[in-house]
A and B are shown apart, each in its own frame.
Chain A
Amino acid sequence: MATADTLAPTTRRPNSRIVEWATTTDHKKIGVLYLVSSVAFFFVAGAMALLMRAELAVSGQQVLDDSTYNQLFTMHGTVMMFFFVVPFAIGLANYFVPLHIGAADVVFPRLNALTYWLYVLGAATVFAGFLTSDGAAAFGWTAYPPLSRETYSPGLGGDLWIVGLASSGIGTTLGAVNLIATIFGMRAPGMTMFRMPIFCWNILVTSALLLFAFPVLTAALAALFVDRNFGGHFFAPGSGGSAILWQHLFWFLGHPEVYIAILPFFGVVTEIIPVFSGKPLFGYRGFVLATLLIGSYSFSVWAHHMFTTGAVSNPFFAATSMLIAVPTGIKFFNWIGTMWGGRLRFRTPMLFCMGFMLMFLIGGITGIFLASPPIDFAAHDTYYVVGHMHYVLFGGSVFAVFASIYYWFPKLSGRMMSEGLGKVHFWLMLAGMNLTFFPMHQLGLRGMQRRIPDYAPSTGFGDLNLLSTIGSGVLALSLLVFAANMWRSLRRGAPAGDDPWKGYTLEWATGSPPPPHNFHRLPPVRSERPVFDERVRAAAPRESSDG
């Protein structure tokens, strides 16, 4: 297996750049492919959101017809959840887990390449629905039957959605196996489990969630495909099937999916905050325990999406959904404890981490409200849920995505990004995000349902919708600033050096970008911050001689 997979000689034929990237098995290049692809999908899904916000800015239908609107919100949710947030985290894991644990590559390099291609071709298959006569899938990213059955959603778009998602899901599951095996099998001497960077722990738990949750969705997708194309009745209540069964199977992935989408970014933030606080992480073991608890709890909360069905035990799932706030609170406590009394440097990555903490906190608190069945009955399927979800996934994951880009861009490219443009990007995004998503809570409480392309003027939804649309424009502007920063930095960014931030973990002990084998030498690993330890050790004799 692993050893045979990696022991071939390194000699590479001079290929063209495209062929070189298409055939690469280098974890760093595959990581970059994941990162670039997922950010590209983010921009596409963001453009879809802008179209929807333009439609909702004022009452009446001006921009989109009903069918196109349905396709856009379906594809927006699908792309953001399955083709942006999670693959971006996998891209980071691909690039940085081997570096963090002091390894030269992942255990299965070719399998790693296969997972990327399954992901990107799966996404292309889902997008291909737009080319069919009936358009892309239009039944929402949750694909509830009977709406997603052939009776109400005929046409190829839905089938391509199923096939593409299953393909991508299989790739993701294989990728999880690879990451778990890499973390367990390829840690450098001295790198015990409890000396691993927190990012690796979070990737490990995320991979376990992927490993156990995605196959359930893949099976459900196969059943839905059979229902649609081969006369199956898995989800047809009239023929002995159950539409509720789909909800069970979907949310058994769908809720861990939220933690799959956030846990890696907890890891990112936990790597960045200590570095910019000038202190070690406060409560390393508590942090690991909290991550394990969140991972475990995430399997026992899925049915809070099904409170209104009456088919599940509401008290049980309300209790587990509220309890999951406890380990999340531990993490907040640790982040604050890390910053407390530290020498804080408010560089762009740190700003995005602070934004992450504030926005995710709001998303988390509104989530606690929704975990209460009486409140959920009132807010279910309203814009309140949309606002909550975007505070968690945009305010949480996306802010951390940008924190990771600003933090690790120097390692990937050898160049620094502009601090000035980075700060403009941050403040515009913070303002745009709150303008866009905060009014949604109020709209939901006033009764505006989600997934509607229009509303009557008499509802009084107009002002808040207009405000939300203006906010989405500010968000789009912030992303243009980011794109300009990226473009400028790749061409003219200042040289970064090996360790521009005075980092703690092993990726800062090698070149920027790292050599093919990642390391020429490794510092001794005696804690979760070996580079910090080495720096302290190097400074100690000088200080003593000064004294």
Chain B
Amino acid sequence: MAEELRFFVRIGLFCGGAAAVYALVSHDVVGTILLGFVPAAIALFVAPAARRLHEPARRDTDRVGAKGAPGGFLGRFVGFSEPDQPATLEIEEEPLAHSSMWPLAGAVAGLLVSAGLLFGAWFWAPGAALGAVAAWRWLHQLDG
């Protein structure tokens, strides 16, 4: 099992055990449910993450790891360092993300919609419209 998964499994096992002990000693429903929430949430995370870790990109990184030590599973860098070769890793500069106004617009939209719950349609209607535009433009930027 990858260390990334073990990290969550350890926390989940601890909280699951704590939930079981707490249920036995207290019979308190609310506390038991809250303690059980953490392992349940982790189980929901770990299952898809385990699948993700076995996708081709990860397997490629593992192959690199057969010679050197593996890094993250996205494999964003070209080249790698061999443990017995002191050469530094030359970075091929990756393109960075565009600057974008849509995260700010999305946050403003969220604020307007939530304020609309207090102040009515004068807030949530423009907020919803701005949110839709921001989401659309954001997705469009990802394609570009």
Contact = CB atoms under 8 A, between A and B. Distances in A.
A113 B100 contact: yes
Contacts of B138: 110
Interface in A266-315: 292-293, 295-297, 299-300, 302-303, 311-313, 315
B99 A107 contact: no
B99 A525 contact: no
Contacts of B31: 248, 303, 312-313
Contacts of B3: 192-194
A185 B18 CA distance: 30
B94 A316 contact: no
A185 B90 CA distance: 19
Interface stretch (A49-57, A60-68, A156-164, A431-439): A156-164
Interface stretch (A7-15, A36-44, A416-424): A7-15
A118 B102 contact: no
Nearest to B14: A296
Classify chain A's interface size. 35 or more
Contact of B96 (A26, A117, A522): A26
Given A15-B99, A125-B115, A187 B72 contact: yes
B48 interface: no
B11 A295 contact: yes
Contact of B103 (A9, A117, A524): A117
B100 A23 contact: yes
Classify chain B's interface size. 35 or more
B25 A316 contact: yes
A524 B106 contact: no
Contacts of A156: 118
B30 A190 contact: no
B117 to A, nearest CB: 7
A461 to B, nearest CB: 36
Contacts, number: 233
Interface in A489-527: 516-517, 519-526
Nearest to B101: A23
Nearest to A105: B96
A312 B23 CA distance: 11
Given A167-B107, A191-B71, A191-B72, 19 more contacts: A2-B74, A5-B142, A6-B96, A25-B96, A104-B93, A105-B97, A167-B110, A185-B73, A189-B71, A189-B81, A190-B80, A299-B18, A300-B18, A300-B22, A315-B25, A519-B91, A521-B90, A524-B81, A524-B83
* 8 interchain residue pairs of minimum CB distance: A117-B107, A313-B26, A189-B80, A113-B103, A524-B81, A187-B72, A296-B14, A114-B103
20 contacts: A102-B89, A117-B107, A118-B107, A118-B110, A184-B4, A185-B73, A188-B71, A188-B77, A190-B68, A191-B69, A193-B4, A204-B7, A216-B37, A293-B14, A299-B38, A311-B28, A313-B31, A316-B26, A519-B91, A526-B81
Interface of B: 3-4, 7-8, 10-11, 14-15, 18, 21-22, 25-26, 28, 30-31, 34-35, 37-38, 41-42, 64, 68-74, 76-77, 79-81, 83, 85-91, 93-104, 106-108, 110-111, 114-115, 117-118, 138, 141-144
